[in-house]
Structure 1
Amino acid sequence: MQIRYFLALCLLPNIVLADEADSTELPTSQCFVTPPVSRSFDDRAALTGIDDEQIVIISDFSNAAFNAQAEFTGDVSFSQGQRHIAADSAILDQKNQRLNANGNLIFKDELFTVTADSLEAQMSTNSATLQKAQYWLHGQQVHGDASKLQITSDNNLLLTKTNFTTCPPGDESWLLEADMIKIDSTEEWGEIWNAKLRIADVPILYIPYMTVPVSDKRKSGFLFPSFSTSTTNGVEISTPYYWNISPEYDLTFTPHYMSSRGLFTKTEFRYLAGEQQNGQFNVEYLDSDDNLSTKADRYLYHWSHQGAVNANWRVRADYTNVSDNNYFNDLDSDVNQSTDNQLSRIGEASYFERNWDFNIRVQDIKVLGEDEKPYQVMPQLNFNYRTEDIIESIDFKFNSELTNFRHQDDEYNTANRLHLVPSLIWPIQGPAGSFTSEVKLMQTQYWQQNLDDDSTLDETVSRTIPQARLHGQVNFERATQMFGEQYRQTLEPQVQYLYVGYEDQSNIGIYDTAELQEDYYGLFRDRQYSGLDRIADANQFTLGFTTRLFDHSNREKFKFSVGQIMYLQDSKVSIDDTYEESSPSTSVLAAELDAQLYDDWFISGSVQHDTETGENKKNEVTLDFRPSNDKLLQLSYRYVPDLLNTNTNDQVDISQAGFRTSWPISDDLYFVGNYYYDLNEDRNIETYTGVQYESCCWAVRLSYHYRIKTNYDDDLTDIDSTSEKFESGVYLNFVIKGLGGSGPLGVADMLNEGLFNYRKPLYMRN
């Protein structure tokens, strides 16, 4: 028969290793290690209304006497809250508050499962000892054996003559053996004494003391090292150390040794400032770079901060400085990549209300490899106001800006600029289309200082320019059949008329203005230049249309856009203040295409064609085959003529073809490869080949990289910036999961390594 026996006593301590909501992700199904479960645990579903202080005992047979020993046999189950014990037999000594259980013993709670030959629990001290135990930590793949497992009175685990691994049973890829392991339930970390690491059952490392995580809670300690070799840096070894200072602060210190350069140290300090602000400091330093003839010191310091002060105020700051122009080209920085050549220094505070906002900003940009320095914004004040239906359906907007431009070099002029823009907008929206009418009055006042005697600039300039813009779009659609499939096709023509008044602006300096690119969406902008130092006059129409195909599930399968500007009057305003009488009557013809060709084949491309000269100003096309998230083949080509080489100031044509692939060789082995070729120079400019093996319990990546190396003019080096240099290297990354590794290495970051990052095509499937 079954007997339910209730005791208002605490049987075992409530050991908490990690909050379930904060635990690491569950492993994939093929990696998940399932602990044993007793069928008697299913009976607890019938128990309701039992609090954590009560014990429910279920057994086939029992023999109990008041204030004496109670014996239970036959499929015995003990339950208290979320803790459960199953055994063949058990003896409960009520007088001495001791429990002994034997035979097919299983202990389980929310966080771990233990099997053992026997269990002895002392209820007065909330402690227990299990002999010849096997344990499993739930949701973390960690499991192992122990000759003795103790649950202490302070809710910790002590394992004697033990081992653990994250590999599935029967897989001995790695195993850690130790004399003792202590799992701290508060810190959620394990301390290990006299550990021996075995890989493929071969002992390779002895560690007298170490700590490992049993949850995702942060803990100070060494992270996994990385190894690589390259033609410029030599043999590289990186050994990061993580310091968990407090819940609000942490620091990572990384000694990075390069045999060709020396010891390169990197320090990253992160902090939280309240609940909604955060930031970090970075300091990097290389003493006496051996790879430079000058033996110069190399350094970087960086600070970033962002967040909300309260419901209205937002702040942001970002500052980076480096010792030389080639810092990111030569060294593996944690702040920027080698393809970054601009350092933006910004300090910003913003205030937001429903109808208005205010912003104050300072900015300085350092361009690596260029002698000419941009102007500094010290500071800029912005005020914007907006309201709807000020006159029936007409909206009102007011934008203003007050900017002080400074320059680090005294020979440059400086300026203050006040820009005021009231505007009225009449938007008409509907499912069949939209029509927007907008008028602006742009009033700008300049006060320019430090002008030399030969300057064509004026000390005071007042500029008033009106603008009118009409933009309309109509949405047509129809049902059609193509390639035996039913589709819904849309036709979305749009037209824009833009008028901007003319005013001579040659008496204004260039402080923050550059020409914008003419892609399809740029054809419908109301400006030709960024910044405000030049506002190009315009009297023009823009015509364009977009067509799309949607399948029966309303998924977009095809999108094509094409458009062009027709100039009714030539623009007389340019950045260099030169007016060409032979100005073109039309802009480039800009077209863009995104399509799912067939099943897993995708194509994406854009072209900017000069219809008057018959030449292409820019071409880009990519062809993707992606049958699944881990399978990719991509072919790409890009062509850009007359691109300025900032090192030589020459005009060069860019014509490059590329191939990229990511493909699983097996369930655990991946291959990633990139190859890019310069068709004009007839040479390879980048090759990347990587092989990654990842199992349930460890991962390794071996990669080779060959690429062209950028060199800027620099006072620290004697490198000729016009010379071209190629760099090659071999890189090895290794992670043992469960020993403090950062988890899977991942294939996505391999796709993004190098000069040409992977650009995913426009997927039109849900």
Structure 2
Amino acid sequence: MQIRYLLALCLFPIYSFADNLDVATSGSQCLVTPPVAPVERIDESNAPDLKLEEIKIHSQRTEAQLGNRAKFNGNVSFSQGARRISAEEAILDQDKEQLDANGNLIFQDERFTVTAESLTAQMRSNQATLKGAQYWLHGQQVHGDAKNLEITKDNNLLLSQTNFTTCPPDQVSWLLEAKKIKIDSEEEWGEIWDAKLRIADIPILYIPYMTVPVSDKRKSGLLFPQVSSSTTNGIELALPYYWNISPEYDLTFTPHYMSSRGLFLKTEFRYLSDNDQQGQLNIEFLGNDDKLDGSPNRYLYHWQHQGAIDENWRVRANFTQVSDNNYFNDLDSEISRSTDNQLFRVGEMAYFEQDWNFSARVQDIDVLGTIQEPYQVMPQLNFNYLRADIWKNLDFSLNTELTNFTHKDNSFDTATRLHIEPALTLPIHKPAGSFTAEAKLLQTYYAQDIQSDNTQLDDNVSRTIPQIRVHGKANFERPIYAFEQNYRQTLEPQLQYLYTGHEDQTGVGLYDTAQLQNDYFGLFRDRRFSGLDRIADANQLTYGLTTRLFDESNNEQFKFSLGQIVYFEDSKVQLDESIIEDKPSSSVLAAELDMHVQSDWFLSSAIQFDTKRNDTQKSEVALDYRPSTNKLVQVSYRYVPDLLNTNTNNTVNIAQTGLRVAWPINDSLYFVGNWYYDLKEERSVETYTGLQYESCCWAARLSYHYRIKTNYDDFDNPSIESRELFESGIYLNFVIKGLGGSGPLGVADMLNDGLFSYRKPLYLRN
């Protein structure tokens, strides 16, 4: 059992370069509205310097001596530039250029509003002091009280014996009291000294010094510590430090101490370049994990970059390296989840013109938990050319690829592959239907360096395969009356004939080729395999039919598709020639259904049925009840037989059912629950239950998670202990809005927090 308490009081938040700080609210009842000074508003857009602005005063009674003092009584209103003051009484000393006001006093400018018992303002220096003040920052939920509030000549605020909150006045769930607060209007940051945080009027935290944002600007400083406790990691304490290096660079360094494992160090550096390129660099390190006997140093390196050099050139890079296969299972990394087992390393540069493009790419994929690694692409050069309407509506395209396949293990075969694929296409698209005729010539040359004992492979292979594809589709529609409503029904039959020539390819190794799935849309592909190492011969006809129902508002309420491939000849090309495969006269019968059943009920289903063996190859179904955007009940089932387990190279049958619920208990309390059960193993594979409470100024989430663990064999570290099959945990997350937190906890991430993320079964209507 893992128990974790996360206190998310981020005092110096890390914003992305495009982020804005929005203090989230739960509705109009959360809005904090300051009083308005009852004075005539003026246009501030072209207002000159306050020092040069004339003073305007209105009152019911006035006693004045020219060049000396003037006393105003009764609904006094004062304005100077963007500043406005209203009070019951005011005295203007013209000699000292000082204004004193009291009685129902309201002070306003473009940045804040203050009510106070009294005010003393110096006109020449634009300074003011207010006693017994209440203040509101415009554009924010921040407001509070102060014994003394001083407005400096730079329009900054200095508050003493003060407090602030983002809660409505009648629902002050949290309050930060301080001896002194300075709010810099230019930098838009607040500095706080001798602060005490109260929750439900109970003091829970003392902070000698802190800063908080009052806008979207970033600032260097310590982030609030994160404290947690678990049976696997022990007592955890993380104290991040954020360094706002410049508008284009920032860095976050997080020492994370775990009593059961040691000191875990995390660093994230982000950068912008000319506003067109951006990236980040992450380094994580845990030396000598105390939890694991004989553990080496555990680490992660990650770099990603993307952007445009100019109008034509684009660059992209992504590189991740970890010390061991179970790094993401054991440590709270910022880069990947525990269910991710593939590390992609890609570097690419591309050039684009109107009719052609060129790219150069290197690629390496590290699959965690497997001994046999995929091939590396070092490098791959692509040139693609497309010219539309070269002659009588004919389109011409040319795709070329030059790829060098290498491997980390020198005992593996390597190869260089050149592929040239010219094509002529005749596309005809009309409202009543479409027709496409396409002819390709697939030319491939391999130069292979044979290191294995596979005597079937050849040093050099030249392959030329013709391909012809003809695809036609018709669109019919009619009005119908069904279920006491008027609908528009469409009928969309389509046929495709595909011919691909045969050539013996047993002399070619497998470098980037795998079997493709045959869902309904996959029936109309022109390839059976990904990659180019195997191009299956074909002489086949694919038929498909789709029907849809549209309501009177033209919203799609029903869609059903059914299709199958009829083989005129058996395909002779297989991935593994040593395996004798049954060659049926037709493919699986693939069907898909999306339906708005009734009112708030939605159904989605897909099936692949083997008509020769009379058994199901794959099926899934989901039924949703969604009466509103924040209410959901989903029941689902999926079945996949003979699924290959890459860790054991054995096949397993997957038959799982699931239940997912997301429902508001009231306006502030939300419930989310997931449950998935393995019918074959007769055990639960994941259970998630979460309660989230959100008010105007704080949010909390309590959740329980039980799930099967993703454990991999650590081939390089055989001394590492055996791992538990399941893990469970209780988590508490807490966010105080307005102390620099990232806003409320989201219900959407609760739906996706687990092994099985939520997917709408019907995308036709939200």
Q: TM-score, normalised by structure 1?
A: 0.93
Q: Distance in 1 between matches of 2:408 and 2:108?
A: 69
Deviation readout 1:311-337 (Å, 9 max, x if unpaired):
111100000011111111222211111
1:30 alignment counterpart: 29
Q: Does 1:280 align with 2:277?
A: no
Q: Where in structure 2 are the equivalents of 1:489-528 lying within 5 Å?
A: 489-528=489-528
| SS of residue paired to 1:748 | helix
Q: Distance in 2 between matches of 1:592 and 1:238?
A: 49
Q: Which amino acid aligns with 1:44?
A: R
Q: Distance in 2 between matches of 1:670 and 1:226?
A: 24
| SS of residue paired to 2:585 | coil
Q: Distance in 2 between matches of 1:653 and 1:720?
A: 28
Structure 1 residues 589 and 82: CA distance shift in structure 2, 3 A: farther
Q: Which amino acid aligns with 2:633?
A: L
Contact 1:230 1:727 in 2 (8 A): no
Q: CA deviation at 1:438?
A: 0.9
Contact 1:25 1:139 in 2 (8 A): no
2:717 alignment counterpart: 716
| SS of residue paired to 2:28 | coil
Deviates more, 1:256-265 or 1:509-518: 256-265
2:5 alignment counterpart: none
1:469 alignment counterpart: 469
1:440 alignment counterpart: 440
Contact 1:228 1:730 in 2 (8 A): no
Q: Distance in 2 between matches of 1:580 and 1:131?
A: 91
Structure 1 residues 458 and 331: CA distance shift in structure 2, 3 A: same
Deviation readout 1:378-411 (Å, 9 max, x if unpaired):
1111111111110021111111111111111111
Q: Which amino acid aligns with 1:275?
A: N
1:167 alignment counterpart: 167
Deviates more, 1:220-229 or 1:190-199: 220-229
Deviates more, 1:366-375 or 1:51-60: 51-60
Q: Distance in 1 between matches of 2:606 and 2:719?
A: 41
Q: Distance in 1 between matches of 2:663 and 2:139?
A: 29
Q: Where in structure 2 are the equivalents of 1:267-666 lying within 5 Å?
A: 267-451=267-451, 454-578=454-578, 580=580, 582-666=582-666
1:14 alignment counterpart: none
1:677 alignment counterpart: 677
Q: Distance in 1 between matches of 2:229 and 2:591?
A: 44
Deviates more, 1:90-99 or 1:132-141: 90-99
Q: Distance in 2 between matches of 1:399 and 1:118?
A: 79
Contact 2:703 2:730 in 1 (8 A): yes
Deviates more, 1:517-526 or 1:329-338: 329-338
Aligned residues: CA RMSD = 2.2
Q: Distance in 2 between matches of 1:738 and 1:325?
A: 40
Contact 1:644 1:651 in 2 (8 A): yes
Q: Where in structure 2 are the equivalents of 1:30-179 lying within 5 Å?
A: 30-38=29-37, 40-41=38-39, 43-44=40-41, 53-55=52-54, 56-63=56-63, 66-179=66-179
Contact 2:610 2:616 in 1 (8 A): yes
Deviation readout 1:290-347 (Å, 9 max, x if unpaired):
2222233221111000111111111000000111111112222111111111111000
Contact 1:710 1:724 in 2 (8 A): no
Deviation readout 1:486-533 (Å, 9 max, x if unpaired):
111111111111111111111111111111111111111111111111
| SS of residue paired to 1:515 | coil
Q: Distance in 2 between matches of 1:351 and 1:520?
A: 35
Q: Distance in 2 between matches of 1:389 and 1:452?
A: 48
Contact 1:640 1:653 in 2 (8 A): yes
2:214 alignment counterpart: 214
Deviation readout 1:549-604 (Å, 9 max, x if unpaired):
11111111111111111111111111113575741111111111111112221111
Structure 1 residues 560 and 59: CA distance shift in structure 2, 3 A: farther
Structure 1 residues 460 and 193: CA distance shift in structure 2, 3 A: same
2:689 alignment counterpart: 689
Q: Distance in 2 between matches of 1:397 and 1:175?
A: 67
Structure 1 residues 538 and 114: CA distance shift in structure 2, 3 A: same
Q: Which amino acid aligns with 1:270?
A: R
Q: Distance in 1 between matches of 2:542 and 2:459?
A: 37
Q: Distance in 2 between matches of 1:317 and 1:533?
A: 26
| SS of residue paired to 1:30 | helix
Structure 1 residues 146 and 724: CA distance shift in structure 2, 3 A: closer
Q: How many residues align?
A: 743
Structure 1 residues 499 and 47: CA distance shift in structure 2, 3 A: closer
Q: Distance in 1 between matches of 2:441 and 2:434?
A: 23
| SS of residue paired to 2:730 | strand
Structure 1 residues 318 and 22: CA distance shift in structure 2, 3 A: closer
Q: Does 1:205 align with 2:205?
A: yes
Percent identity for Structure 1 against Structure 2: 66
Q: CA deviation at 1:93?
A: 3.0
Deviation readout 1:161-201 (Å, 9 max, x if unpaired):
10111111122321111111000112211111111111111
Q: Which amino acid aligns with 2:597?
A: L
| SS of residue paired to 1:203 | strand
Q: CA deviation at 1:127?
A: 1.2
Q: Which amino acid aligns with 2:635?
A: L
Deviates more, 1:230-239 or 1:127-136: 230-239
1:253 alignment counterpart: 253
2:9 alignment counterpart: none
Unpaired runs of 5+ residues, structure 2, are: 1-18
Q: CA deviation at 1:256?
A: 3.0
| SS of residue paired to 1:424 | strand
Structure 1 residues 295 and 65: CA distance shift in structure 2, 3 A: same
Q: CA deviation at 1:716?
A: 2.1
Contact 2:442 2:465 in 1 (8 A): yes
1:184 alignment counterpart: 184
Q: Which amino acid aligns with 1:24?
A: D
Q: Distance in 1 between matches of 2:570 and 2:252?
A: 58
| SS of residue paired to 2:30 | coil
Q: Which amino acid aligns with 1:666?
A: N
Structure 1 residues 753 and 22: CA distance shift in structure 2, 3 A: closer
| SS of residue paired to 1:754 | coil
Q: Which amino acid aligns with 2:28?
A: S
Q: TM-score, normalised by structure 2?
A: 0.93
Contact 1:445 1:460 in 2 (8 A): yes
Q: Which amino acid aligns with 2:289?
A: D
| SS of residue paired to 1:530 | coil
Q: Distance in 2 between matches of 1:757 and 1:257?
A: 31
1:11 alignment counterpart: none
Q: CA deviation at 1:62?
A: 4.2
1:18 alignment counterpart: none
Contact 1:711 1:719 in 2 (8 A): no
Q: Distance in 2 between matches of 1:205 and 1:26?
A: 23
Q: CA deviation at 1:450?
A: 3.8
Q: Distance in 2 between matches of 1:525 and 1:453?
A: 35
Deviation readout 1:453-490 (Å, 9 max, x if unpaired):
65221111111111111111111111112211111111
Structure 1 residues 728 and 229: CA distance shift in structure 2, 3 A: farther
Contact 1:176 1:196 in 2 (8 A): yes
Deviates more, 1:624-633 or 1:496-505: 624-633
Q: Distance in 1 between matches of 2:238 and 2:596?
A: 44
